[in-house]
Amino acid sequence: MKQPGFFDVDERLARLSGLGDQLEAFSRTVDFEVFRPDLDRALAYADGSKGGRPPFDPVLMFKILVIQTLNNLSDERTEYLINDRLSFMRFLGLALSDRVPDAKTVWLFRERLTEAGAIQKLFERFDATLRNAGYLPMSGQILDATLVAAPKQRNTNAEKVDLREGRIPQDWQDKPAKLSHKDRHARWTLKFTKAKRQEDGTLPSTDLAIPFFGYKSHIFIDRKFRLIRKWKATDAAASDGARLREGLLDKTNTASSVWADTAYRSKANEDFMDKEGFVSKVHRKKPHLKPMPRHIQRSNAGKSVIRSRVEHVFADQKSQTGLFVRTVGITRATMRIGLANIVYNMRRFLFLERLNAAA
Protein backbone atom coordinates (compact mmCIF):
# COMPACT_ATOMS: atom_id res chain seq x y z
CA MET A 1 0.00 0.00 0.00
CA LYS A 2 1.42 3.36 -1.00
CA GLN A 3 2.16 6.19 1.43
CA PRO A 4 -0.84 8.57 1.83
CA GLY A 5 -0.35 11.79 -0.08
CA PHE A 6 -1.16 15.37 0.96
CA PHE A 7 -4.03 15.69 -1.52
CA ASP A 8 -5.45 12.17 -1.17
CA VAL A 9 -8.39 13.25 1.03
CA ASP A 10 -9.34 16.08 -1.34
CA GLU A 11 -9.20 13.72 -4.28
CA ARG A 12 -11.43 11.20 -2.49
CA LEU A 13 -13.94 13.92 -1.61
CA ALA A 14 -13.95 15.09 -5.22
CA ARG A 15 -14.66 11.52 -6.23
CA LEU A 16 -17.59 11.36 -3.79
CA SER A 17 -18.96 14.60 -5.24
CA GLY A 18 -18.78 13.13 -8.72
CA LEU A 19 -20.73 10.08 -7.59
CA GLY A 20 -23.53 12.27 -6.22
CA ASP A 21 -23.13 12.90 -2.49
CA GLN A 22 -26.62 13.68 -1.14
CA LEU A 23 -25.23 15.33 1.97
CA GLU A 24 -23.18 17.71 -0.15
CA ALA A 25 -26.40 18.67 -1.95
CA PHE A 26 -27.97 19.31 1.46
CA SER A 27 -25.10 21.63 2.38
CA ARG A 28 -25.47 23.59 -0.87
CA THR A 29 -29.25 23.93 -0.73
CA VAL A 30 -30.28 24.04 2.94
CA ASP A 31 -29.07 26.91 5.12
CA PHE A 32 -28.73 25.14 8.47
CA GLU A 33 -27.83 28.41 10.19
CA VAL A 34 -31.52 29.37 10.18
CA PHE A 35 -32.04 26.80 12.93
CA ARG A 36 -29.47 28.37 15.28
CA PRO A 37 -31.78 30.83 17.12
CA ASP A 38 -34.32 28.10 17.95
CA LEU A 39 -31.57 25.67 18.95
CA ASP A 40 -29.93 28.24 21.21
CA ARG A 41 -33.22 29.04 22.93
CA ALA A 42 -34.07 25.38 23.44
CA LEU A 43 -30.65 24.33 24.73
CA ALA A 44 -29.99 27.38 26.94
CA TYR A 45 -26.29 26.61 27.35
CA ALA A 46 -24.34 28.44 30.06
CA ASP A 47 -22.08 31.33 29.03
CA GLY A 48 -18.92 29.39 29.94
CA SER A 49 -17.94 31.64 32.85
CA LYS A 50 -17.75 28.63 35.20
CA GLY A 51 -15.23 26.87 32.96
CA GLY A 52 -15.40 23.31 31.68
CA ARG A 53 -15.28 21.92 28.18
CA PRO A 54 -17.38 24.02 25.77
CA PRO A 55 -20.36 22.24 24.20
CA PHE A 56 -20.39 21.20 20.58
CA ASP A 57 -21.86 23.69 18.14
CA PRO A 58 -25.68 23.22 18.20
CA VAL A 59 -25.99 23.46 14.40
CA LEU A 60 -23.37 20.72 14.01
CA MET A 61 -25.30 18.56 16.49
CA PHE A 62 -28.59 19.22 14.66
CA LYS A 63 -26.94 18.14 11.41
CA ILE A 64 -25.98 14.91 13.16
CA LEU A 65 -29.67 14.33 13.91
CA VAL A 66 -30.36 14.89 10.20
CA ILE A 67 -27.75 12.24 9.34
CA GLN A 68 -29.33 9.87 11.86
CA THR A 69 -32.79 10.36 10.42
CA LEU A 70 -31.67 10.06 6.81
CA ASN A 71 -29.95 6.74 7.49
CA ASN A 72 -32.07 5.34 10.36
CA LEU A 73 -29.06 5.08 12.68
CA SER A 74 -28.73 4.42 16.39
CA ASP A 75 -26.57 6.77 18.46
CA GLU A 76 -23.71 4.26 18.63
CA ARG A 77 -23.82 3.59 14.89
CA THR A 78 -23.93 7.34 14.24
CA GLU A 79 -20.74 7.90 16.25
CA TYR A 80 -18.96 5.12 14.37
CA LEU A 81 -20.01 6.25 10.90
CA ILE A 82 -19.09 9.90 11.49
CA ASN A 83 -15.58 8.71 12.31
CA ASP A 84 -15.60 6.31 9.36
CA ARG A 85 -17.14 8.27 6.47
CA LEU A 86 -15.55 11.23 4.77
CA SER A 87 -18.92 12.32 3.39
CA PHE A 88 -20.35 12.60 6.92
CA MET A 89 -17.33 14.56 8.14
CA ARG A 90 -17.51 16.97 5.19
CA PHE A 91 -21.22 17.56 5.81
CA LEU A 92 -20.49 18.35 9.46
CA GLY A 93 -17.47 20.51 8.67
CA LEU A 94 -15.09 18.26 10.62
CA ALA A 95 -11.46 17.60 9.78
CA LEU A 96 -9.76 14.27 10.44
CA SER A 97 -8.12 15.71 13.56
CA ASP A 98 -11.32 17.24 15.01
CA ARG A 99 -13.14 15.83 18.02
CA VAL A 100 -16.29 13.89 17.10
CA PRO A 101 -19.34 13.80 19.43
CA ASP A 102 -19.79 10.39 21.02
CA ALA A 103 -23.06 8.46 21.26
CA LYS A 104 -23.87 9.79 24.74
CA THR A 105 -23.42 13.39 23.58
CA VAL A 106 -25.79 12.81 20.66
CA TRP A 107 -28.36 11.26 23.01
CA LEU A 108 -28.11 14.14 25.49
CA PHE A 109 -28.48 16.75 22.72
CA ARG A 110 -31.62 15.07 21.38
CA GLU A 111 -33.00 14.70 24.91
CA ARG A 112 -32.56 18.41 25.63
CA LEU A 113 -34.40 19.33 22.44
CA THR A 114 -37.12 16.82 23.30
CA GLU A 115 -37.60 18.12 26.83
CA ALA A 116 -37.74 21.69 25.51
CA GLY A 117 -40.41 20.72 22.96
CA ALA A 118 -38.30 22.33 20.24
CA ILE A 119 -39.20 20.08 17.31
CA GLN A 120 -42.34 22.03 16.32
CA LYS A 121 -40.39 25.33 16.29
CA LEU A 122 -37.64 23.75 14.18
CA PHE A 123 -40.25 22.41 11.73
CA GLU A 124 -41.90 25.83 11.48
CA ARG A 125 -38.51 27.48 10.97
CA PHE A 126 -37.79 25.32 7.93
CA ASP A 127 -41.34 25.79 6.65
CA ALA A 128 -40.68 29.54 6.71
CA THR A 129 -37.53 28.89 4.66
CA LEU A 130 -39.59 26.98 2.12
CA ARG A 131 -42.12 29.81 1.88
CA ASN A 132 -39.35 32.39 1.45
CA ALA A 133 -37.97 30.28 -1.40
CA GLY A 134 -41.35 30.55 -3.18
CA TYR A 135 -42.88 27.22 -2.13
CA LEU A 136 -46.13 28.54 -0.71
CA PRO A 137 -48.94 26.13 0.22
CA MET A 138 -50.99 25.96 -2.97
CA SER A 139 -53.84 24.15 -4.74
CA GLY A 140 -55.47 22.72 -1.63
CA GLN A 141 -54.33 20.21 0.96
CA ILE A 142 -54.38 16.47 1.54
CA LEU A 143 -54.70 14.77 4.93
CA ASP A 144 -53.79 11.25 5.98
CA ALA A 145 -52.15 9.23 8.76
CA THR A 146 -49.78 6.29 8.93
CA LEU A 147 -48.84 3.86 11.68
CA VAL A 148 -45.31 4.06 13.08
CA ALA A 149 -44.06 0.92 14.81
CA ALA A 150 -42.48 0.94 18.27
CA PRO A 151 -40.86 -1.85 20.33
CA LYS A 152 -43.64 -4.15 21.58
CA GLN A 153 -44.47 -4.18 25.29
CA ARG A 154 -45.21 -7.44 27.12
CA ASN A 155 -47.75 -6.49 29.78
CA THR A 156 -50.35 -8.43 31.72
CA ASN A 157 -54.06 -7.84 31.16
CA ALA A 158 -54.31 -5.96 34.47
CA GLU A 159 -51.39 -3.71 33.48
CA LYS A 160 -53.04 -3.01 30.13
CA VAL A 161 -56.24 -1.93 31.87
CA ASP A 162 -54.29 0.45 34.13
CA LEU A 163 -52.45 1.96 31.15
CA ARG A 164 -55.64 2.51 29.16
CA GLU A 165 -57.14 4.35 32.14
CA GLY A 166 -54.04 6.52 32.58
CA ARG A 167 -52.73 4.83 35.74
CA ILE A 168 -49.25 3.48 36.47
CA PRO A 169 -49.52 -0.21 37.41
CA GLN A 170 -48.88 -0.79 41.12
CA ASP A 171 -46.06 -3.24 40.45
CA TRP A 172 -44.12 -0.62 38.46
CA GLN A 173 -44.31 2.27 40.93
CA ASP A 174 -41.53 1.01 43.21
CA LYS A 175 -39.35 -0.17 40.31
CA PRO A 176 -38.04 2.97 38.57
CA ALA A 177 -35.71 0.99 36.30
CA LYS A 178 -38.60 -1.09 35.00
CA LEU A 179 -40.86 1.94 34.70
CA SER A 180 -38.29 3.80 32.57
CA HIS A 181 -38.36 0.97 30.00
CA LYS A 182 -42.15 0.72 29.80
CA ASP A 183 -43.91 2.69 27.08
CA ARG A 184 -47.11 3.94 28.70
CA HIS A 185 -48.28 5.93 25.65
CA ALA A 186 -47.99 3.60 22.66
CA ARG A 187 -51.09 1.51 21.98
CA TRP A 188 -52.19 -1.63 20.16
CA THR A 189 -54.52 -1.32 17.20
CA LEU A 190 -55.53 -3.34 14.15
CA LYS A 191 -53.99 -2.63 10.78
CA PHE A 192 -56.32 -3.68 7.98
CA THR A 193 -54.86 -4.78 4.68
CA LYS A 194 -56.36 -6.20 1.53
CA ALA A 195 -56.48 -10.00 1.47
CA LYS A 196 -54.36 -11.59 -1.25
CA ARG A 197 -55.99 -13.38 -4.14
CA GLN A 198 -56.10 -17.17 -3.73
CA GLU A 199 -54.49 -19.62 -6.15
CA ASP A 200 -57.86 -20.31 -7.78
CA GLY A 201 -58.28 -16.59 -8.47
CA THR A 202 -60.91 -15.91 -5.80
CA LEU A 203 -60.65 -13.28 -3.07
CA PRO A 204 -61.35 -14.09 0.60
CA SER A 205 -64.58 -12.62 1.93
CA THR A 206 -62.76 -10.54 4.55
CA ASP A 207 -59.61 -8.43 4.59
CA LEU A 208 -56.73 -9.15 6.93
CA ALA A 209 -56.53 -7.51 10.37
CA ILE A 210 -52.96 -7.41 11.70
CA PRO A 211 -52.23 -6.40 15.32
CA PHE A 212 -49.97 -3.33 15.44
CA PHE A 213 -48.23 -1.55 18.35
CA GLY A 214 -46.86 1.96 18.29
CA TYR A 215 -47.82 5.47 17.28
CA LYS A 216 -49.50 7.32 14.44
CA SER A 217 -48.21 10.18 12.30
CA HIS A 218 -50.88 12.58 10.99
CA ILE A 219 -49.85 14.98 8.23
CA PHE A 220 -51.23 17.57 5.82
CA ILE A 221 -49.41 18.15 2.56
CA ASP A 222 -50.13 20.86 0.02
CA ARG A 223 -51.32 19.56 -3.34
CA LYS A 224 -48.95 21.69 -5.44
CA PHE A 225 -45.53 20.90 -3.96
CA ARG A 226 -46.35 17.89 -1.75
CA LEU A 227 -44.53 19.39 1.21
CA ILE A 228 -45.64 18.57 4.76
CA ARG A 229 -47.23 21.72 6.18
CA LYS A 230 -48.86 20.48 9.41
CA TRP A 231 -48.35 17.34 11.48
CA LYS A 232 -49.24 15.67 14.75
CA ALA A 233 -48.12 12.52 16.57
CA THR A 234 -50.55 10.35 18.57
CA ASP A 235 -50.79 6.79 19.82
CA ALA A 236 -51.71 4.17 17.23
CA ALA A 237 -55.27 3.75 18.51
CA ALA A 238 -56.19 7.43 18.16
CA SER A 239 -59.00 8.23 15.73
CA ASP A 240 -57.88 9.68 12.40
CA GLY A 241 -61.00 11.76 11.86
CA ALA A 242 -60.89 13.67 15.13
CA ARG A 243 -57.43 15.05 14.34
CA LEU A 244 -58.81 17.13 11.47
CA ARG A 245 -60.31 19.56 13.99
CA GLU A 246 -57.11 19.86 16.07
CA GLY A 247 -55.26 22.54 14.14
CA LEU A 248 -54.05 20.46 11.22
CA LEU A 249 -55.87 22.40 8.51
CA ASP A 250 -53.72 25.11 6.91
CA LYS A 251 -55.61 28.36 6.38
CA THR A 252 -52.68 29.90 4.49
CA ASN A 253 -53.16 27.56 1.53
CA THR A 254 -54.10 29.44 -1.64
CA ALA A 255 -57.02 27.02 -2.24
CA SER A 256 -59.70 25.84 0.16
CA SER A 257 -60.16 22.20 -0.94
CA VAL A 258 -59.37 19.39 1.51
CA TRP A 259 -58.85 15.79 0.34
CA ALA A 260 -58.98 12.80 2.71
CA ASP A 261 -60.22 9.20 2.83
CA THR A 262 -63.44 7.95 4.43
CA ALA A 263 -61.90 7.88 7.94
CA TYR A 264 -62.31 11.67 7.98
CA ARG A 265 -65.94 11.71 6.81
CA SER A 266 -68.18 12.73 9.70
CA LYS A 267 -70.84 15.35 10.35
CA ALA A 268 -68.59 17.07 12.89
CA ASN A 269 -65.75 17.36 10.36
CA GLU A 270 -68.03 18.51 7.55
CA ASP A 271 -69.58 21.18 9.78
CA PHE A 272 -66.13 22.27 10.97
CA MET A 273 -64.75 22.64 7.42
CA ASP A 274 -67.83 24.49 6.28
CA LYS A 275 -67.58 26.88 9.22
CA GLU A 276 -63.86 27.51 8.63
CA GLY A 277 -64.30 28.13 4.90
CA PHE A 278 -62.85 24.87 3.56
CA VAL A 279 -64.32 22.84 0.70
CA SER A 280 -64.62 19.14 1.56
CA LYS A 281 -63.28 16.66 -0.97
CA VAL A 282 -63.39 13.83 1.59
CA HIS A 283 -64.38 10.41 0.26
CA ARG A 284 -67.93 9.30 0.93
CA LYS A 285 -68.62 6.05 2.74
CA LYS A 286 -70.45 3.07 1.35
CA PRO A 287 -74.07 2.90 2.60
CA HIS A 288 -74.57 0.22 5.26
CA LEU A 289 -75.67 -3.12 3.75
CA LYS A 290 -76.27 -1.43 0.38
CA PRO A 291 -74.21 -1.29 -2.81
CA MET A 292 -72.20 1.87 -3.44
CA PRO A 293 -74.11 4.16 -5.86
CA ARG A 294 -72.32 4.56 -9.19
CA HIS A 295 -72.11 8.35 -8.99
CA ILE A 296 -70.39 8.14 -5.58
CA GLN A 297 -67.99 5.51 -6.96
CA ARG A 298 -67.02 7.84 -9.79
CA SER A 299 -66.69 10.78 -7.41
CA ASN A 300 -64.46 8.84 -5.01
CA ALA A 301 -62.32 7.57 -7.88
CA GLY A 302 -61.71 11.13 -9.05
CA LYS A 303 -60.77 12.22 -5.53
CA SER A 304 -58.40 9.25 -5.16
CA VAL A 305 -56.24 10.48 -8.04
CA ILE A 306 -55.36 13.52 -5.94
CA ARG A 307 -55.62 12.04 -2.43
CA SER A 308 -53.20 9.19 -3.22
CA ARG A 309 -50.30 11.66 -3.47
CA VAL A 310 -50.03 11.70 0.32
CA GLU A 311 -49.29 7.97 0.27
CA HIS A 312 -46.08 8.74 -1.64
CA VAL A 313 -44.90 10.81 1.34
CA PHE A 314 -45.32 7.92 3.76
CA ALA A 315 -43.73 5.49 1.32
CA ASP A 316 -40.74 7.81 0.98
CA GLN A 317 -40.35 8.17 4.74
CA LYS A 318 -40.52 4.44 5.41
CA SER A 319 -38.39 3.29 2.48
CA GLN A 320 -35.75 6.03 2.54
CA THR A 321 -35.44 6.75 6.26
CA GLY A 322 -36.95 3.60 7.82
CA LEU A 323 -39.46 5.47 9.97
CA PHE A 324 -39.54 3.60 13.29
CA VAL A 325 -39.73 4.70 16.94
CA ARG A 326 -36.92 3.20 19.03
CA THR A 327 -37.65 5.33 22.10
CA VAL A 328 -40.13 5.20 24.98
CA GLY A 329 -43.02 7.64 25.37
CA ILE A 330 -45.06 10.01 23.24
CA THR A 331 -42.70 12.96 23.81
CA ARG A 332 -39.73 11.17 22.29
CA ALA A 333 -41.92 9.64 19.58
CA THR A 334 -43.04 13.17 18.64
CA MET A 335 -39.39 14.19 18.34
CA ARG A 336 -38.65 11.21 16.09
CA ILE A 337 -41.66 11.80 13.84
CA GLY A 338 -41.00 15.54 13.69
CA LEU A 339 -37.40 14.96 12.60
CA ALA A 340 -38.61 12.58 9.90
CA ASN A 341 -41.01 15.27 8.63
CA ILE A 342 -38.27 17.94 8.57
CA VAL A 343 -35.89 15.63 6.70
CA TYR A 344 -38.62 14.69 4.20
CA ASN A 345 -39.21 18.39 3.49
CA MET A 346 -35.46 18.91 3.05
CA ARG A 347 -35.25 16.07 0.54
CA ARG A 348 -38.33 17.34 -1.26
CA PHE A 349 -36.82 20.85 -1.31
CA LEU A 350 -33.71 19.46 -3.01
CA PHE A 351 -35.87 17.73 -5.62
CA LEU A 352 -37.93 20.86 -6.34
CA GLU A 353 -34.79 22.99 -6.65
CA ARG A 354 -33.30 20.54 -9.14
CA LEU A 355 -36.53 20.67 -11.17
CA ASN A 356 -36.40 24.47 -11.24
CA ALA A 357 -32.72 24.46 -12.24
CA ALA A 358 -33.43 22.07 -15.12
CA ALA A 359 -36.44 24.05 -16.36
Confidence at 191, pLDDT banded by 50, 70, 90: confident
Q: What is the mean pLDDT of residues 238-254?
A: 91
Q: What is the pLDDT of residues 290-324, one digit of tens each?
A: 888 899 999 999 999 999 999 999 999 988 778 88
* CATH code of the domain made up of 136-150+186-345: 3.30.420.10
Query: How many CA atoms lie less than 13 Å away from 99 in the CB half-sphere?
Result: 10
Q: What is the mean pLDDT of residues 105-129?
A: 95
User: Where do the domains of the chain lie?
Assistant: 7-116, 136-150+186-345
CA distance 287 to 284: 9
* Residue with the larger pLDDT of the pair 44 and 235: 235
Q: Report pLDDT for 195.
A: 67
Q: What is the pLDDT of residues 293-302, one digit of tens each?
A: 899 999 999 9
